[in-house]
A and B are shown apart, each in its own frame.
Chain A
Amino acid sequence: MKKILVFLLTVLTFSAQAAESPQEGKFSPGDMIMHHIGDDYVWEFAHGVTLPLPVILYGENGLDIFSSSNFYNEQHELQPYNGYVNEHGHIYYANEEGHPRTRVNEKGEEEHVGPMDFSITKNVASLFVSVILLFLVFLSIASAYKKNRGKAPRGIQSFFEPIIVFVRDDIAKTNIGPKYERFMPYLLTVFFFIWFNNLLGLIPGGANLTGNITVTLVLAVMTLLITVFSGNKSYWGHIFNTPGVPWWLKWGIPIMPLVEVIGIFTKPFSLMVRLFANITAGHIIILSLFSLIFIFESIAIGPLSVAFATFMNFLELFVALLQAYIFTLLSAMYFGGAVEEHDHHSDLGHGDAPHAVPATH
């Protein structure tokens, strides 16, 4: 166990080192960190160990698929390829000098022009890895349930069963109520998807997938869509005709409906930002701690930095689970609010029950 830890930390340190920009010879922690938490066209596991990923572009030249290694020459320097140029992690059309082509937009600003980019980037590749992992784990568990039907769980099945039961009993049943069953597939999928990807992101060389705003945006929009489409009469009634509110706040000055409608969108927005910020922040902290070694250029700071980073890593392992739990829990609460049957007589006093979401970080 100790050996593995030492190995992981060494790899992480090496990959941190890899970000040192060779041209200037000066270490810039900001660039290194942004490079690590951002997306890329290659997957750099450690310094020198990179996997070029396919680039898929659709634009004025039609569909173009090629390896991202074409953007690098023998000295690992960027070069234009096939009329495209890779600059600051984006692919643009190249002009004659091999620089991104520009155009002036409506506001009169100059901007780069590029094709639509469907490349299998580091994040997309990591997404596929996580999906394969999810399939492997849960299909084998499902077959285990078929094999020892009615018997006690065994092996990997017994590890995941309490978690599945927890999601069902403590997240879905308590927050959604009797109609929980139809939300179970989404809640379980989103829980394990986030958790697995959080953990994959913690592996040195892993991608920061759940700390990517696009991914959390998609997940949050899914929750939003499910909430809105499963909203019953009472849910919409509470939004446009909130009980217990003076009539003039609803029909005279429509503040309440406005606030409630904004609320529909702020809830998933908070889901999106919370997951993104927590995971990205964790990565930034760990990377910053390692950067200290290179900033101080002292061997003495090494053990301290490693100790802190180790502690942070353990904390992040916890956060990985916690954030998956929070996302799932809040989604379940929103679904619960959407399908709840209100008893209007008793509900007048305490207002909108499902909005009473507990404070989370």
Chain B
Amino acid sequence: MNPLVTPSLGLLFWQVVTFLVVLFLLSKFAWKPIMKALREREDNIDSALRMAEKAKLEMQALKADNERLLTEARVERDRILKDANDVATNLVESARTKATEEGQRLVEQARESIQNEKKAALTEVKNLAATLSIDIAEKIIRRELQDEPAQRALVQSYLQETHLS
């Protein structure tokens, strides 16, 4: 056989032994730490990228949130202002109404009271007038009656005036 394609025992032995030793030692002391380090670094980069992406999203969310809060605040402000305005207007309005009503009520009361007073006064005046009239009449009558001839004359005059038919 051609020596080129004839395996030789010595080289076979050394190659097997050496290759196995190399395989073992490199696996243990080179490939294992290298692969581990590579994987760790890739994981790190991966997580860093993912975190950056997350931070970006969070940032966007935050910005949107802020925008929303600002808009809400603006709306709230407007609403509060409007409410305050309304309240003020209502207050003024109701105060005015109340005042008017109160005034009217007072006027009414006064008027009623005046009417009552007037009525009472009139009654008193009537009573007084009646009493006075009676008193005067009594006095007059009493005096008149004391003068009998005059009375007779008067009755006579009345009788004459009266046409008995």
Which residues of A come within 8 Å of B, CB atoms?
34, 37-39, 56, 88-89, 116-121, 123-124, 127-128, 131, 134-135, 138-139, 141-142, 145-146, 149-150, 161, 164-165, 168, 181, 184-186, 188-189, 193, 212-215, 217-219, 222, 276, 280
Q: Contact between B29 and A142 (Cβ–Cβ < 8 Å)?
A: yes
Residues of A within 8 A of B5 (CB): 213, 276
Given A121-B11, A135-B26, A193-B22, the answer on whether A213 and B6 have CB atoms closer than 8 Å is yes
Rank and list the top 7 A-B pairs by shortest CB-CB distance, nearest first.
A185-B27, A145-B37, A138-B30, A214-B7, A214-B11, A142-B30, A218-B15
Q: How far is the CB of B4 from chain A (nearest CB, A)?
A: 7
Given A118-B13, A146-B37, A189-B31, the answer on whether A134 and B8 have CB atoms closer than 8 Å is no
Residues of A within 8 A of B6 (CB): 213
Q: Contact between A150 and B30 (Cβ–Cβ < 8 Å)?
A: no
- Having A38-B4, A118-B13, A124-B11, one finds 17 other A-B pairs with CB under 8 Å, namely A39-B8, A56-B10, A88-B3, A117-B8, A118-B9, A127-B18, A134-B26, A135-B26, A139-B29, A141-B30, A142-B30, A145-B33, A185-B27, A188-B31, A215-B11, A218-B16, A222-B19
- What's the dominant secondary structure at chain B's contact region? helix
Q: Contact between B12 and A218 (Cβ–Cβ < 8 Å)?
A: yes
Give the docked Cα–Cα distance between A146 and B14 (Å). 32
Give the docked Cα–Cα distance between A212 and B9 (Å). 12
Q: Contact between A135 and B25 (Cβ–Cβ < 8 Å)?
A: yes
User: B34 on the interface (CB 8 Å rule)?
Assistant: yes
Residues of B within 8 A of A280 (CB): 4
A-B contact count (CB 8 A): 112
Give the docked Cα–Cα distance between A186 and B23 (Å). 7
Contact among A88, A124, A142, A188 with B10 in the assembled complex (CB-CB below 8 Å): A124
Given A213-B4, A214-B8, the answer on whether A189 and B34 have CB atoms closer than 8 Å is no
Residues of B within 8 A of A119 (CB): 10
Q: Contact between B14 and A37 (Cβ–Cβ < 8 Å)?
A: no
Which residues of B come within 8 Å of A, CB atoms?
3-16, 18-19, 21-23, 25-27, 29-35, 37-38, 40-41, 44
Give the docked Cα–Cα distance between A9 and B34 (Å). 37
Give the docked Cα–Cα distance between A193 and B25 (Å). 13
Residues of A within 8 A of B7 (CB): 213-214, 217
Q: Contact between B41 and A218 (Cβ–Cβ < 8 Å)?
A: no
Residues of B within 8 A of A217 (CB): 7, 12
Give the docked Cα–Cα distance between A134 and B29 (Å). 12
Give the docked Cα–Cα distance between A168 and B6 (Å). 34
Give the docked Cα–Cα distance between A189 and B30 (Å). 10
Give the docked Cα–Cα distance between A142 and B38 (Å). 11
Give the docked Cα–Cα distance between A131 and B17 (Å). 12
Contact among A124, A134, A168 with B22 in the assembled complex (CB-CB below 8 Å): A134
Given A139-B29, A189-B23, the answer on whether A150 and B44 have CB atoms closer than 8 Å is yes
Give the docked Cα–Cα distance between A38 and B9 (Å). 14
Residues of B within 8 A of A88 (CB): 3
Q: How far is the CB of A4 from chain B (nearest CB, A)?
A: 29
Chosen A-B contacts, 6 in total, with CB atoms closer than 8 Å, are A135-B26, A164-B34, A164-B35, A184-B31, A215-B11, A215-B15
Given A118-B10, A150-B41, A214-B8, the answer on whether A131 and B30 have CB atoms closer than 8 Å is no
Residues of B within 8 A of A139 (CB): 29-30
Residues of B within 8 A of A128 (CB): 18
Residues of B within 8 A of A127 (CB): 11, 14-15, 18
Q: Contact between B34 and A141 (Cβ–Cβ < 8 Å)?
A: yes
Q: How far is the CB of A267 from chain B (nearest CB, A)?
A: 19
Residues of B within 8 A of A150 (CB): 37, 40-41, 44
